[in-house]
């Protein structure tokens, strides 16, 4: 570590330590409970009949043979769902911007717009039996012309997917600051690049699944979701059931990466089916279901123009984004590319920025948030173009970065966002120190003599996370129809241990451990005595769930504040009992004690006894020791870092091998450094996946070509290097913990480092630019092209 | 539905006799009929390895084995790996080294790693990485998984040496 470890609170010093995770014992022994592990007596299994057509009218559905099979309870189609109160809501309603939102129902009504769209559902008591029956459902389609290319979809004469709009354009949206036209006009050099950021999948290893029970007028939905609280609101709207009669539980969730930041048709469908049949209904996606109908990410075409003076001073950046939205929206859909615009300035002091976005309907599945959600696209285009611009200027790419790094904080960017804090030179310095660039360059030159092509690529990213300030994101700001606070409740039990409820909904992040560390320090406890409860709308206050690297910077701060409220009350009780002033009570060495008189102290258990057997509380104090906090941040947080990637390219085959990965990230002070490293490793590999292997491919008929893990290439251990990681710590002034987020940082940072590295390796062969994924074929072709 | 077939197998040391559909997958036998839900399903194509168990001591993907093929075999699942409260060295190492996040791939990953270490008690990093390429993890980036397998190998190697020394004394 290159930072001085700082204890952020005056307790037992658990914050900052590499504690082993509290959640692991159940996970390593097979005793955890994921949705698919739950079955209630009488459970009906659901199988979904899906459209094999990308664009078609449904002319008839004959489910009679399926319904007649032994063991089949019911078959439902879109017509049967006529009593559903509302289609899937899309929650982005930006003021003054028209967004086309077609009705998207859990089962298609009359028409399908993508392969895999749900057309009917079969319910029965045997999980194999319902799949057999699904084969017997005969659906006749009248095929319509298909459009899969977003640019073609915008051309006059293209098949219009939703006739009511008369166009495939979903929305147009711009965000600018400063005079970009003038900035580009006064530039000595204007770099122009067209960057295709291809479609990817979240590919959590646990496929989606949901089980619903309707009992005594109340609905319980267990779902593999990141957002149980938001799901309850949406189920209430779609099913027309009063919110308090719905309970949503996210049990153990096997990864999300944004793909479970969603309320899918099947979740609503099983709930509707449970109410209709009066029996529990469970649906579990196969991997093929998941590839077809778990939302995809990215899929942008970015036309970039960057202006610079001859000396490397940046004058402006203008990006035109074409976002492929797929044929229908889910809950956020079209808003995702707007997050690209938030960080379009990158780590650089652009005096003028402009992002123009066009969303487009195509006959593909919906794109929505996947790890990074719009920011990986921004970082990719900026960081790749910084290298491209350096080439054009004949400058060193790192020198160009350093010349333009933002150094003053807080820093208001031309488009209104305020970077909270940063030290971009610091992370790059440390990254270069670990890399030893000089040694690499001489080795690189030497190896080239022998026909071995190695390169190094950098990414000096900044990202926006910690969603977020409700005023900025909400209805009158960005246009999201919600608040983005987080809630927490810290309840001391009568024997002095703690249940801490968080409104976030972790699915691998380790919050049961890190949040326990935060609470423990504030209450003089061991984290073992703090149970962190999450993912159940019937416990704790209303929460806003997990996405956008918000859990710690928003949820963690909420839990710290709730714990501090408990601490304050406990101090007043202790002061009363020990005849001292509350301000003279400190939490140290596991006790509440009088400053300067360590022998005068009470433990939290003592305080709890006083609070729950209230015979002698301070005048006017209520009984109990249980506090709630709702924390709505005043700004976003802006993590940053410098990543370096060393690759070797086999020029005979085009195969890229990553030899080294150096990641220096700054997400503020660590609560648990081990968890940060884990997030960085996983995040970077997600980016490596996109850069080298993964791509969602549809053919011209709208058929998904990459519908399984055979053809959608999630990286294995064999393709990945070990990582060299370090951190610097720059506090965010936004929250009392000083923390930023880290869940998406690695993914946001990674892809341009690889692309820049491969271009660096192949520069002697004349390769100057590459789009992802850098498959052997694409790289080999680029080499051949350059040789011609 | 076809007629059922009687099978007899040992699962985690307990003999089980059941009548199963010929098409029933071993993973569904384990999960749905024996309640051993620690073995997971992550794909339809034997790529992800979340369903890895040991069949007569060797790692297999239980989504690709029919229950009837397991007739007469000994099956070990993640639930049968620890000795009572004493975790297997791999379980300890995965916990110690933060080699899991969401935990979904973890049982399969640990079972695959146990098989790897049985065949190669002292694997290099590269051997571990190739040895586990049939198991996908989307969370950890594999770095800490590799480290955990190395650490477990060291512990198991150490105790194997200790066992031999005990015998020789």
State the CATH number of the domain containing residue B62: 3.10.20.30
In the three-class reduction of DSSP (H, G, I as helix; E, B as strand; rest coil), residue A354 is classed as strand
Number of domains in chain B: 2
Q: In which domain, by residue range, is B99 found?
A: 89-168
Residue written as tokens 């973890």? B106
Q: Which of residues 311-350 of A touch B (CB under 8 A)?
A: none
The reply to whether B121 and B50 lie within a common domain is no
Three-state secondary structure call for residue A11: coil
CA distance B78 to chain A (A): 6
Q: What is the DSSP letter of A754?
A: H
Which residues of chain B from 36 to 65 reach within 8 Å of chain A, CB to CB?
36-45, 47-48, 50
| CA distance, residue B91 to nearest chain A CA (Å) | 6
Q: Name the residue range of residue A116's domain.
A: 35-144+207-253+260-293
Closest C-alpha to A645, from A455, A786, A429, A384: A455
Helices (H), A481-597: 511-523, 557-578
Domain end (from B21, B48, B80): B80
Contacts of residue B167, Cβ cutoff 8 Å, sequence gap at least 6: none
CA pair distance A352, A413, nearest whole angstrom: 9
Under DSSP, the state recorded for A649 is E
A163-174 CB burial, b ≥16 within 10 A, e <16:
eeeebbbbbebe
Tell me which of B80, B105, B139 is where a domain ends. B80
Together in a domain, B42 and B16: yes
Please indicate, yes or no, if residue A183 is contained in any of the structural domains: no
HEC assignment per residue over A420-459: CCCCHHHHHHHHHHHHCHHHHHHHHHHHHHCCCEEEEEEE
Q: The tokens of A83 are what?
A: 């009593």
Q: Token pair for residue A483?
A: 């608040």
Do A702 and A727 belong to one domain?
yes
Name the residue in chain A with its Cα closest to that of B99: A678
Min Cα separation B97/chain A (Å): 8
Mean local confidence (pLDDT), B124-137: 98
Is A216 in the same domain as A104?
Answer: yes
Nearest CB among B77, B81, B125 relative to A722 is that of: B125
Same domain, B61 and B108: no
Q: Nearest Cα to B136, choosing from B57, B45, B38?
A: B45
Are B76 and B93 within one domain? Answer: no
Q: Give yes or no for a contact between A383 and A460, defined as CB atoms under 8 angstroms apart.
A: yes
Nearest-10 crossing angle of helices A437-449, A424-435 = 50
Kindly state the tokens that stand for B69: 């093929």
Beta strands in A178-265 (DSSP E): 189-201, 209-215, 218-223, 246-249
CA gap A16, A6 in Å, rounded: 7
For residue A472, tell me if it sits in a domain. Answer: no
Angle subtended by helix axes A745-762 and A673-688, to nearest 10: 50
Q: Both A434 and A564 in a single domain?
A: no
Of A631, A662, A688, the position where a domain reaches its end is A631
Residue A342 contacts residue A711 (beta carbons within 8 Å): no
Sheet holding A169-177, edge to edge: A169-177, A353-360, A314-324, A296-308, A189-201
Considering the domain architecture, whether residues A649 and A764 belong to the same structural domain is answered as yes
A41 touches chain B (CB under 8 A): no
> Do residue B76 and residue B107 come from a single domain?
no
Last residue of a domain, one of A293, A313, A347: A293
Exposed / middle / buried, residue A703 (Cβ in 10 Å: 0-12, 13-18, 19+): middle
Report how far Cα B115 is from the mean position of its chain's Cα atoms: 7
B39: closest CA of chain A, how far (Å): 7
Model confidence at B159: pLDDT above 90 = no
For chain B, say whether A31 makes contact (Cβ under 8 Å).
yes
Interchain contact, A34 vs B41, CB within 8 Å: no
Same domain, A497 and A599: yes
Side-chain-facing half-sphere of A113: CA atoms under 13 Å:
25
Residue B8 token pair? 């007899």
- Are A558 and A502 in contact by the 8 Å Cβ rule? The answer is yes
SS (H, E, C) A45-61: EEEEEECCCCCEEEEEE
Closest residue, chain A, to B21 (C-alpha): A128
Calpha distance A378→A340 (Å, rounded): 5
Distance from CA of A294 to the nearest CA of B (A): 14
Residues A497 and A624 placed together within one structural domain of the fold: yes
Close Cβ partners of B54 (under 8 Å, ≥ 6 residues apart): B60, B74, B75, B76, B77, B111, B114, B115
d(CA B91, CA A502): 28
Q: Are A53 and A115 in contact (CB under 8 A)?
A: yes
- Mode of pairing for the β-strands spanning A655-666 and A724-727: parallel
Phi, psi of A411 (to 5 degrees): -125, 120
Q: Residues B68, B5: contact at Cβ < 8 Å?
A: yes
Query: To 5 degrees, how large is the angle CA A348–CA A354–CA A355?
Result: 110
- Residue A287's φ and ψ, nearest 5 degrees, are -65, -35
Q: Please give the structure tokens belonging to residue A663.
A: 């990641």
List of chain B residues whose C-beta atoms are within 8 Å of the C-beta of residue A665: none
User: What Rg, from alpha-carbon coordinates, does chain B have?
Assistant: 17
A386 and A442 within one domain = yes
Q: Assign residue B101 the CATH number of its domain.
A: 1.10.150.120
Residue B108 phi, psi dihedral angles, 5° rounding: -65, -40
A57 and A115 in a common domain: yes
B111 and B150 inside one domain: yes
Please report whether residue A563 resides in a domain.
Answer: yes
Would you state the structure tokens that stand for residue B23, as one six-digit string?
């098409």
- CB distance from B110 to chain A under 8 Å? yes
Strand pairing class (A189-201; B5-11): unpaired
Residues of chain A contacting B103 with CB distance shorter than 8 Å: 23-24, 26-28, 32, 252, 254, 508
Collapsing DSSP to helix, strand or coil, A757 comes out as helix
Same domain for A240 and A351, yes or no, is no
Q: Based on the domain organization, do B101 and B160 belong to the same domain?
A: yes
Phi and psi at residue A314, to the nearest 5°:
-75, 140
Query: Is B43–A708 a contact, with Cβ atoms under 8 angstroms apart?
Result: yes
Q: What is the CA radius of gyration of chain A?
A: 27
Q: How many CB atoms lie within 10 A of CB A626?
A: 19
Rounded-to-10 torsion of CA B18, B20, B26, B32: -80
The reply to whether B165 touches chain A by the CB within 8 Å rule is no
Q: Which of A143, A148, A197 is nearest to A168 (CA)?
A: A148
Question: For the packed helices B106-119 and B143-168, what is the interaxial angle rounded to 10 degrees?
Answer: 40
A666 within a domain of the structure (yes/no): yes
Q: Are residues A269 and A315 in the same domain?
A: no
- Is the same domain home to B48 and B93? no
Q: Please give the ipTM for the structure prediction.
A: 0.97
Q: What secondary structure letter does DSSP report for A658?
A: E
> Which of B36, B61, B80 corresponds to the end of one domain?
B80
B32 in the same domain as B11: yes
A374 min Cα distance to partner chain B (Å): 20
Rounded to whole angstroms, the Cα distance separating A694 from A747 reads: 13
Q: How many contacts (CB atoms, under 8 Å) link A and B?
A: 186
pLDDT of A5 reads 41
Q: Give per-10-residue mean pLDDT for chain A (788 aa).
A: 42 90 98 98 98 98 98 98 96 96 98 98 98 98 98 98 98 98 98 98 98 98 98 98 98 98 98 98 98 98 98 98 98 97 98 98 98 98 98 98 98 98 98 98 98 98 97 96 97 98 98 98 96 97 97 98 98 98 94 94 97 97 98 98 98 98 98 98 98 98 98 98 98 98 98 98 98 98 96
A243/A375 same-domain check: no
Nearest residue on chain B to A208, judged by CA atoms? B42
Mark whether B102 and B152 lie in a shared domain.
yes
Residues 130-159 of B with CB under 8 A from A: 130, 132-146
Number of domains in chain A: 3
Query: Do A30 and B77 count as a contact with CB atoms less than 8 A apart?
Result: yes
Please tell me the distance from the alpha carbon of residue A299 to that of residue A324, in angstroms, as a whole number. Answer: 6
- Which of A461, A306, A314 shows the shortest CA–CA distance to A380? A461
Phi/psi at A489 (5° precision) = -135, 130
**In the sheet that A453-462 helps form, which strands lie side by side, from edge to edge?**
A453-462, A640-650, A655-666, A724-727
- Minimal Cβ distance to B82: which of A29, A127, A205: A29
pLDDT of residue A1: 41
User: Cβ–Cβ of A28/B104 closer than 8 Å?
Assistant: no
Name the strand (E) or helix (H) holding A228: helix A228-239
How far apart are alpha carbons A371 and A547 in whole angstroms?
A: 9
Q: Do B44 and A129 touch (CB under 8 A)?
A: no
CATH at A736? 3.30.365.10
Q: Are residues B41 and B111 in the same domain?
A: no
From residue A623, give the alpha-carbon distance in Å to each of A531, A539, A615.
22, 21, 9
Q: Does A684 touch chain B (CB under 8 A)?
A: yes
Q: What is the DSSP letter of A704?
A: B
Please report residues of A whose CB lies closer than 8 A to that of B136.
205, 709, 714, 716
Q: Which of A631, A646, A678 is the last residue of a domain?
A: A631
Query: Is residue B101 less than 8 Å (CB to CB) from chain A?
Result: yes
B13 and B46 share one domain: yes
What is the distance between the alpha carbons of residues A620 and B33, in angstroms, rounded to a whole number?
A: 58
Rounded-to-integer distance, Cα A130 and Cα A152, Å: 39
B77 to chain A: nearest residue by CA?
Answer: A30
Chain center to CA of A767: 33
Chain-chain contact of B44 with A27 (C-beta, under 8 angstroms): no
């Amino acid at each position: 570590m290159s930072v001085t470890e700082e204890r952020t609170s005056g307790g037992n010093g658990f914050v900052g330590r590499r504690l082993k995770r509290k959640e692991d014992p159940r996970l390593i022994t097979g005793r955890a409970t994921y949705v698919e592990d739950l079955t209630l007596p009488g459970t009906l299994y659901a199988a979904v009949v899906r459209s094999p057509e990308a664009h078609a009218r449904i002319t008839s559905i004959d489910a009679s043979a399926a319904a007649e099979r032994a063991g089949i309870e019911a078959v439902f189609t879109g017509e049967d769902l006529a009593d559903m109160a509302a289609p899937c809501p899309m929650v982005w309603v930006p003021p003054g911007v028209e967004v086309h939102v077609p009705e998207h129902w859990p089962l298609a009504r009359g028409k399908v717009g993508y392969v895999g769209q749900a057309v009917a559902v079969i319910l029965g008591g045997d999980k194999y039996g319902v799949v057999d029956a699904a084969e017997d459902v005969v659906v006749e389609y009248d095929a319509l012309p298909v459009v899969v290319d977003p640019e073609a979809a915008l051309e006059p004469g293209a098949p219009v997917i939703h006739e009511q709009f008369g166009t495939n354009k979903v929305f147009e949206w711009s965000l600018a600051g400063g005079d970009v036209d003038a900035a580009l006009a006064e530039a000595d050099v204007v770099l122009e690049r067209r960057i295709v950021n291809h479609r990817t999948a979240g590919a959590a290893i646990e496929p989606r699944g949901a089980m619903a029970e309707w009992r005594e007028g109340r609905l319980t939905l267990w779902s593999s979701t990141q957002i149980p609280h938001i799901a309850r609101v949406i189920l209430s709207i779609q099913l027309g059931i009063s919110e308090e009669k719905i309970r949503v539980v996210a049990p153990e969730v096997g990864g999300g990466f944004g793909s479970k930041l969603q309320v899918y048709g099947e979740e609503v469908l099983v709930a509707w089916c449970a109410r209709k049949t009066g029996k529990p209904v469970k649906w579990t996606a196969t991997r093929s279901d998941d590839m077809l109908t778990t939302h995809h990410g990215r899929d942008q075409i970015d036309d970039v123009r960057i202006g610079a003076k001859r000396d490397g001073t940046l004058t402006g950046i203008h990006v035109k984004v074409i976002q492929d939205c797929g044929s229908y929206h889910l809950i956020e859909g079209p808003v995702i590319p707007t997050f690209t615009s938030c960080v379009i300035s990158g780590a650089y002091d652009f005096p003028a920025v402009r992002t123009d976005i066009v969303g487009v309907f195509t006959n593909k599945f919906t794109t929505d948030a996947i790890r990074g959600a719009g920011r990986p696209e921004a970082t990719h285009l900026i960081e790749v173009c910084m290298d491209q611009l350096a080439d054009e200027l004949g400058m060193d790419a790192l020198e160009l970065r350093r010349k333009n790094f933002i150094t003053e904080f807080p820093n208001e960017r031309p488009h209104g966002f305020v970077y909270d804090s940063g030290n971009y030179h610091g992370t790059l310095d440390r990254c270069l120190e670990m890399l030893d660039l000089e040694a690499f360059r001489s080795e690189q030159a030497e190896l080239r003599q022998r026909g071995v092509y190695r390169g190094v690529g950098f990414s000096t990213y900044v990202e926006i996370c910690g969603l977020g300030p409700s005023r900025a994101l909400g209805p009158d700001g960005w246009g999201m129809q919600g608040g983005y606070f987080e809630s927490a409740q810290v309840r001391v039990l009568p024997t002095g241990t703690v249940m801490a409820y968080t409104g976030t909904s972790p699915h691998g992040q380790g919050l049961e451990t890190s949040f326990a560390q935060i609470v423990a320090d504030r209450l003089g406890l061991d984290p073992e005595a703090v149970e962190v409860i999450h993912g159940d709308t019937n416990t704790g206050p209303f929460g806003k769930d997990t996405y956008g690297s918000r859990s710690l910077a928003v949820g963690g701060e909420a839990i710290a504040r709730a714990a501090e409220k408990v601490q304050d009350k406990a101090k007043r009780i202790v002061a009363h009992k020990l005849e001292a002033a509350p301000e003279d009570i400190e939490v140290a060495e596991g006790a509440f004690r009088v400053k300067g008189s360590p022998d005068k102290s009470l433990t939290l258990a003592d305080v709890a006894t006083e609070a729950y057997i209230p015979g002698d509380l301070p005048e006017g104090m209520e009984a109990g020791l249980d506090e709630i906090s709702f924390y709505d941040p005043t700004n976003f947080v802006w993590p940053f870092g410098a990543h370096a990637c060393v690759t070797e390219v086999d020029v005979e085959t085009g195969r890229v091998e990553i030899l080294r990965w150096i990641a220096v990230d700054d997400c503020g002070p660590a609560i648990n450094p081990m968890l940060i490293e884990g997030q960085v490793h996983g995040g970077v590999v997600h980016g490596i996946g996109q850069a080298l292997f993964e791509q969602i491919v549809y053919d011209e008929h709208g058929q998904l070509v990459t519908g399984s893990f055979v053809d959608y290439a999630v990286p294995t251990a064999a393709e990945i290097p070990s990582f060299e990681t370090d951190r610097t710590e720059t506090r965010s002034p936004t929250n009392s913990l000083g923390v930023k987020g880290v869940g998406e940082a690695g993914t946001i940072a990674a892809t341009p480092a690889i692309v820049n590295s491969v271009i660096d390796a192949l520069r002697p062969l004349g390769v100057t630019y590459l789009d992802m994924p850098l498959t052997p074929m694409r790289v080999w072709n680029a080499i051949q092209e350059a040789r011609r | 539905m076809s007629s059922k077939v009687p099978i007899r197998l040992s699962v985690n040391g307990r003999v089980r006799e059941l009548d199963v559909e010929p098409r029933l997958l071993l993973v569904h036998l384990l999960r749905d009929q024996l309640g051993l839900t620690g073995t997971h399903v992550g794909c339809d194509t034997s790529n992800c390895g979340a369903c890895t168990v040991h069949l007569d001591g060797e790692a297999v993907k239980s989504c690709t084995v029919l229950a009837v093929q397991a007739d007469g075999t000994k099956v070990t699942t993640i639930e049968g790996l620890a000795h009572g409260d004493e975790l297997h060295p791999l379980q300890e190492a995965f916990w110690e080294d933060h080699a899991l996040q969401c935990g979904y791939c973890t049982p399969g990953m640990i079972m695959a790693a146990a098989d790897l270490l049985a065949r190669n008690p002292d694997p290099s990093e590269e051997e571990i990485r190739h040895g586990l390429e049939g198991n996908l993890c989307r969370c950890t980036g594999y770095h800490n998984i590799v480290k955990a397998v190395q650490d477990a190998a060291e512990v198991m190697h150490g105790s194997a040496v200790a066992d031999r020394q005990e015998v020789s004394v």
